Structure 1
Amino acid sequence: MHEDVERCVRAVQSKDARFDGWFFTAVLTTGIYCRPSCPVVPPKPRHMSFYPSSAAAQQAGFRACKRCRPDATPGSPEWNERADLAARAMRLIKDGIVDREGVAGLAARLGYSTRQVERQLQAEVGAGPAALARAQRAQAARLLIETSALPMADVAFASGFSSVRTFNDTVRAVFGLSPTELRRRGRPADVTSAVSLRLPFRAPLCPDNLFGHLVATSVPGVEEWRSGVYRRTLRLPHGHGVAELQPTGAAYIQCTLALSDLRDLTTAINRCRRLLDLDADPVAIDELLARDPVMAPLVRKNPGRRIPQTVDGKEFAVRAMLGQQVSTAAARTHAARLVAAHGEPVSDPGGGLTHLFPTPAALAGLDPSALALPQKRKNALITLIDTLASDDIDLGTGSDWQEARARLESLPGVGPWTVETIAMRALGDPDAFPATDLGIKAAAGGLTLPTAPSALVRHAAAWQPWRGYAAQYLWATGDHPINEMPTRDVVGTP
């Protein structure tokens, strides 16, 4: 979009927040870059230049505006709507792969050469993977500087910088202030092991099905709803953590992260954003779906529905298999038993969380007799766990969606419902559509849509590339806890 100068100028002049994260405006006369909705008086068009990412603006020598904080915008929805090389790379960079494995590690994950990845990202976002990771480190550093009283050296290494000097130079270059000056402006509270921050999103957002679904399907000991806050444990690259996510009624989700290792801050933030689908573009999605006369009333009633996703693709795949052909309550019970027997215990002083969901490696060799499931489903689950444990299928943020689908379809006992459910919530494919789902079929029948899966898929072609969001609107027509914001605590132990 940054190449459409007239459209960008109109967005800046109208301070249109819908375009925050889509592009960034560099002001040639001041040397700063802003989000489109920056509250200051817009510069003259001839003094504007546009960039597709904050990293590209920084690489061009511009520093972040102190008023609008362009580094804290929602991410571009483009990277969650596509499955090509650039989109997969961007999702992996957000998950911290470059910091942990370097650019070579990123390229290896994608199956391309380092040069190919560099060239593709330069063409798409105006910056290479190293610059994109640097911009992400700077944002993480700012959060820790302003929300904690950690010593600056600890902030530097927790943010992923290799040295304090690099940290100081980067913060000053990006924000035009030293780390000490940033902290003075932020006036942090006392030292705490938890980091509190706001997760911005593009309005509108309907929290009902988003939090309703997460809570109704929550696994005791791993997730809970306590005092209006969704809480869950996180397995992270350097340790573990607990995330607390609370809808506020404003254009952000309140997030508190308690981490065993602060190096996981950026990864934890981005996994929470992905879980709640906060980088979606609801205006574009709803506009397309509302063109269908059957869908239009559903969209008008509760616009801005998101797809509840996951923080761990492998975890969700196991849970999806456990949920085949059983009630939501039964699926929770089966998952809770696995957690109690094989999950890693954690401490949670702030609530009742007790475990991390077990990894496929921890579940490998699982005794089928311990599963209260029909024999065929036991065998299917064991096969899936072994496949995940051996890394024969990639369900991570940078996975190839079609390749993952094909691999899932080849496994015994994995039918269309399971494949599309995993594609929607684990892979993050916005066009995944479980046409065989009983709730979808019931909704279709009540709305004069075809109920036969093949006919419904043909009708749903008009909803592409966002059939996953159409599924959320269809499910919302039913009377089920997944569609309602919880009104009481949902806690428990496995």
Structure 2
Amino acid sequence: MQTAHYQQARLTRDPRFDGRFFVAVTSTGIYCRPICPAPLPKEENVRYFDSAVAAAEAGFRPCLRCRPDSAPASWAWKGTDTTLERALRLIDEGALVQGSVSRLAERLGISSRYLTRLFQNGTGTSPKRYALYQQLLFAKSLLQQTGLPVAEVAFAAGFGSIRRFNDCFRERLQMTPSDLRRQPGKAGDNGELTLFLSYRPPYNWQHLRDFLRPRLIPGLEWITDHSYGRSLTLDNGQHGYFTATHDAARHGFRVALHLSQPTVLLPVVRTLRRLLDLDADSGCIDDHLRPLLASLGGPVPGLRLPGTLSLFEAGVRAILGQQVSVSAAHKLVAQLVEAYGQTGPGPTGEMRLFPSPEVLAETDLAELRLPGRRKQTLIDLACLFRDEPQTAADPGRWLQLSGIGPWTVQYARMRGLSESDIWLGGDLGVQRALRQHDVTFDPAAAAPWRSYLTLNLWSLT
């Protein structure tokens, strides 16, 4: 975007640009979202930044009124470097909360020096400083949205001590936690933590709800006209559940979150944002796809990519969905969860967790009405996740397993990793839509949003 576009979006407080850039005011030393309700500053006192981190690195502190920590993330400033994008995703998932930069670089298959250079070029800061600022913004959000005591906020944001939390808060945000929270508090009844997660409009909640509803697994998930919820299994073995209620007027979801034990919350919230695809720039995506889908009246406005809780769950659902209808795949997944999913207390009674790789690796899947070869494929995938989690984290490596082909891998990437550029050209639903509507185009023209092209075609069947 050019400065003139930034100025116009700021002056109109256009919510479609929320999170795509930030407005810093030199006379106050504060940076804001473009939708901030405060009186508009003069243009000569304004500087524009592509990210909150860049504004902070320039010496500005976040606004307490519009709360930049609550803005939807922007894909635009990440650039097109896939290594950087993967690094950002891993950091957002907590890779540097307890791990090191060298370990992160090893996971990415690059050197620490090259990783640091990628971050300096792409974000204007180092990996560690980027991770720390994300932790601080998340802590700020918890202080303003919840009644958690400051000590619990520090732990939930990934800090090992109150002293370090206070020092970092003062140094980077130019305020103290007590400036935001004068009185200590506590979480809601029954350990419930309530958060508000925003998105950038348009957001087609009806389409997402209607996509999830026929795939709903009893006990694992629940849905109403205005909400979606499901059980959670965390990497550290803890579990819980959430219910997200859509609030169209405020452009976001009110999320009630329950966890079995206190934990670092930042990776959990990042997962929820990915599940609901809250950080997509739907306006940009729709504009990109409009010429391609012109013969169909254009794209369905505001489509969002429905995620799954984990890559393993997406892989299992993909294997059970090979060459069968949505209803048939749904029945198989429901059988799997009923037979092998651990039970626990849910919002209205007993709920089920999705079976873990450790559980499925040790069973013969006798409860499933499947060919023996398909059962063995599921067991092999579970063994891979149990024994070689680093290998399993790359779906491309699954192709070494018998019974897994490109469609399974691509489907798992699209729903388990929420990758935006997956074209499922071999999918039966996509092929049916193309035939029924006599549509021909080059899918490469939809890059980097081919996952949303796939969703648009699915919506036609």
Counterpart among 290, 305, 316 of residue 303 in structure 2: 305
| 1:175-197 Cα deviation digits (max 9, x unpaired) | 55432331249998856511112
Structure-2 change in CA distance of 1:392 and 1:312 (3 Å): closer
Equivalent residue for 2:142? 144
Aligned twin of 2:368: 371
| Match 1:124 to one of 122, 125, 145 | 122
Question: C-alpha offsets along residues 345-389 of structure 1, whole Å, 9 cap, x if unaligned?
Answer: 3222x2245222122122113215443112332232233222232
Q: 1:165 to 1:432 in 2, by over 3 A?
A: same
For 1:418 and 1:12, the matched residues in 2 are separated by: 43
Counterpart position of 2:279: 279
Matched residue SS, 2:245: strand
Shift in Å, 1:26: 2.1
Question: Quick one: structure 1 residues 114 and 188, their matched pair in 2 at CA, closer, same or farther if it must change by over 3 Å?
Answer: same
Find the counterpart in structure 2 of residue 237 from structure 1. 235
In structure 2, the residue matched to 1:461 is 444
Q: Residues 19 and 185 of structure 1: is their aligned pair in 2 closer, same or farther, counting only changes over 3 Å?
A: farther
Which residue is equivalent to 1:388? 385
Partner-residue secondary structure (3-state), 2:231: strand
* Pairing 1:226-375 to 2, within 5 Å after superposition: 226=224, 228-238=226-236, 239-250=238-249, 251-292=251-292, 294=294, 297-299=297-299, 302-348=300-346, 350-375=347-372
Equivalent position to 1:475, from 451, 458, 461: 458
| Amino acid in structure 1 at the alignment position of 2:292 | D
Which residue number corresponds to residue 192 of structure 2? Answer: 194
Task: Show structure 1 runs of 5+ residues with no match.
Answer: 451-457, 479-494
Instruction: Compute the displacement of 1:89 (Å).
Output: 0.8
- CA deviations over 1:402-441 (Å, ceiling 9, x no partner): xx33x23343222333222112112322121212222212
Query: Aligned in 2, Cα 1:477/1:8: closer, same or farther, shift over 3 Å?
Result: same
Question: 2:288·2:446 contact (CA, 8 Å) conserved in 1?
Answer: yes
The reply to whether residue 435 of structure 1 matches residue 425 of structure 2 is yes
Query: What's 2:46 paired with?
Result: 48
* Conserved? CA contact 2:384–2:391, under 8 Å: no
Deviates more, 1:464-473 or 1:260-269: 260-269
1:154 aligned residue:
152
TM-score, normalisation: structure 1: 0.85
1:116 to partner: Cα distance: 1.9
Conserved 8 A contact 1:316-1:422: yes
Identity of aligned residues (%): 38
Q: Residue 24 of structure 1 contacts residue 35 of structure 1 at CA under 8 Å; is this kept in 2?
A: yes
The alpha-carbon distance between structure 1 residues 376 and 237, as it changes in their structure 2 partners (threshold 3 A), is closer
Q: CA deviation at 1:124?
A: 0.6
Distance (Å, rounded) in 2 between the aligned partners of 1:108 and 1:225: 40
One-letter amino acid of the structure 1 residue matched with residue 64 of structure 2: K
**Distance in structure 2 (CA, Å) of the matches to 1:469 and 1:80:** 19
Higher relative contact order (CA 8 A, sep 6+): 1
Equivalent residues of 1:236, 1:267 under 8 A apart: no
C-alpha offsets along residues 206-260 of structure 1, whole Å, 9 cap, x if unaligned?
1123122223212232212257421111122342221111222231122111122
* Residues 262/365 of structure 1: CA separation in 2 closer, same or farther (3 Å cut): closer
**One-letter identity of the residue aligned with 2:24:** A
Distance 2:87 2:403 in 1: 31
Structure 2: 5+ residue stretches without partners: none
**Paired amino acid for 2:244:** L
Over 3 Å counting, the alpha-carbon distance change for 1:410 and 1:178 in structure 2 is same
Do the aligned partners of 1:147 and 1:189 also contact (CA within 8 Å) in 2? no
Counterparts of 1:425 and 1:381 in 2: how far apart (Å)?
17
> Do 2:78 and 2:122's aligned partners in 1 also have CA atoms closer than 8 Å?
no
Distance 1:353 1:394, change over 3 A: farther
Instruction: Provide the rounded CA distance (Å) in 1 between the counterparts of 2:407 and 2:356.
Output: 23
Equivalent in the alignment of 1:88? 86
How many residues align structurally? 459
User: Is the contact made by 2:78 and 2:85 (CA closer than 8 Å) also made in structure 1?
Assistant: yes
Provide the C-alpha distance between the structure 2 equivalents of 1:35 and 1:195, rounded to a whole number of angstroms. Answer: 25
> After TM superposition, which residue ranges in structure 1, 4 or more long, deviate above 6 angstroms?
185-189
Give 1:485's aligned residue. Answer: none
- The reply on whether 1:71 has 2:54 as its aligned counterpart is no
Q: Is the 8 A contact 1:289 1:295 kept in 2?
A: no
Q: Secondary structure at the residue paired with 1:246?
A: strand
**Aligned in 2, Cα 1:437/1:243: closer, same or farther, shift over 3 Å?**
same
User: Is the 2:193–2:256 contact (alpha carbons within 8 Å) kept by the matching residues of 1?
Assistant: yes
Structure 1 residues 201 and 150: alpha-carbon distance in aligned structure 2, compared to 1, 3 A threshold:
closer
Cα distance in 1 for partners of 2:152, 2:185 equals 18
CA offset at residue 271 of structure 1?
A: 0.4
TM-score relative to the length of structure 2: 0.90
Structure 1 stretch displaced more, 64-73 or 79-88: 79-88
Separation in structure 2 between the aligned mates of residue 81 and residue 286 of structure 1, nearest angstrom: 19
Change beyond 3 A, Cα 1:393–1:371: farther
CA-CA distance at 1:291 after TM superposition: 0.9
Structure 2: distance between partners of 1:111 and 1:369: 39
**Structure 2 CA distance, aligned partners of 1:466 and 1:227?**
28
Equivalents in 2 of 1:436, 1:268: separation in Å?
Answer: 33
The answer to whether structure 1 residue 422 and structure 2 residue 412 are counterparts is: yes
Other-structure match for 2:20: 22
What is the DSSP-based 3-state SS (H/G/I as helix, E as strand, rest coil) of the residue aligned with 1:230? strand
Is 2:136–2:169's contact at 8 Å kept on the other side of the alignment?
Answer: yes
> 1:489 is matched with which residue?
none
SS of the equivalent of 1:242 reads strand
